[in-house]
Amino acid sequence: MVRESIVRKAAAKVLSPEEAKLMLKGVDVIGDIAIIKVPDVLLGKSKVIAEAILREMHNVKAVFRQVSPAQSITRVRGIEWLAGEKRTETYHREHGCIFKVDIAKVYFSPRLLYERERIAKIVEESCKSRYELVLNMFAGVGCFSIILAKKTDKAIVYSVDINPYAFDYMVENVKLNKLEGKVIPILGDSKNVALSMPNKFTRVLMPLPELAYDYLSYALIALRRRGWIHYYDHIYASKDLEALQKAEEKVATKLQELGVSYEVRSKRVVRSVGPKISQVVLDIYVEKP
């Protein structure tokens, strides 16, 4: 049974049928911590729902409610403890890697599991014929960077985040996964890293939809004359095809202004993040003049 169904099943045991229908089915399980969303009309029953989830999901030791979405450049979301152990730190395992995370201090989304593996496989395939030097402009605790570096011995990743807590956890996660020297954690604004290391990287990752567009010019500065940009954005659209078209048009305007040749080699909707709001990714091959 998928986790969303388990949440509905747990809620149905402590709510009336009418109330259970109102319960949002989405849940993020990070390590042994679950984060749920509770509709306003059910806030008074949040703890009862959380306790039911603990009984239903035996691998979960603590349940929190998301009170606000990820905000600002640090991407930390507001949370409230509901049931179980009163701690926010956990270990999350994904694709053979382990990540130490504090959900109150850093951003982490288990819903990007497939996307992290997809990027890692792209780089792994590329590294069969060449070495890669990668810049991750918005690295968080290092998930994209570490999973990528674990796949191949021919890639080095400069992994940047502006959140000092995320940086500290990234440093620890690099050690936990024995990737010292392959993943280089950097604390700071990635635009400054790009300016200090121009024309250096074969590939740039931009997994922060809220800022990727504004940082696109800096990604180009960091990129070698020819290279790849993996660009993420949030797009308002009714259908997936419309979201992809809008994203490509938006990027086209920017890249044309910046005077580079480019080709969108691949594009996909990563996930839905709200009513008619999609997270999309464009894999863009760029040639600078």
What is the full DSSP assignment across 179-247?
A: -BTTEEEEES-HHHHHHHSTT-EEEEEE--TTTHHHHHHHHHHHEEEEEEEEEEEEEE-SSHHHHHHHH
Q: What is the mean pLDDT of residues 144-173?
A: 98
The strand pair at 132-136 and 183-187 is best described as unpaired
Token pair listed for 119: 């990027």
Q: Check: CATH 3.30.300.110 for 6-87? A: yes
Angle (CA) 99 266 270, round 5° = 45
251's enclosing H/E stretch is helix 240-257
State the pLDDT at residue 3: 55
Do residues 134 and 155 lie in contact, with contact meaning Cβ atoms separated by under 8 Å? yes
**pLDDT of residue 61 exceeding 70:** yes
| Closest C-alpha among 224, 172, 166 to residue 194 | 224
State the pLDDT at residue 76: 87
Q: What is the mean pLDDT of residues 100-108?
A: 96
**pLDDT of residue 4 exceeding 70:** no
pTM of the model: 0.93
Token pair listed for 86: 């009163």
Res. 192 pLDDT band, cuts 50 70 90? very high
Q: Is the dihedral of CA 160, 232, 208, 26 positive or negative?
A: negative
Q: What is the mean pLDDT of residues 214-243?
A: 98
Q: What is the mean pLDDT of residues 205-223?
A: 97
**CATH code at 108-287:** 3.40.50.150
| 7-21, 30-44, 130-144, 163-177: the lowest-pLDDT one | 7-21
Q: Average model confidence (pLDDT) for the chain?
A: 94
Q: What is the mean pLDDT of residues 239-264?
A: 97
The strand pair at 277-287 and 201-206 is best described as unpaired
Q: What is the mean pLDDT of residues 235-255?
A: 97
State the pLDDT at residue 1: 39
Same fold, 6-87 and 108-287: no
Domains of the chain by residue range: 6-87, 108-287
State the pLDDT at residue 25: 64
**Ranges of H-type helices in 57-208:** 113-126, 143-151, 164-176, 190-196
**pLDDT of residue 72 exceeding 70:** no
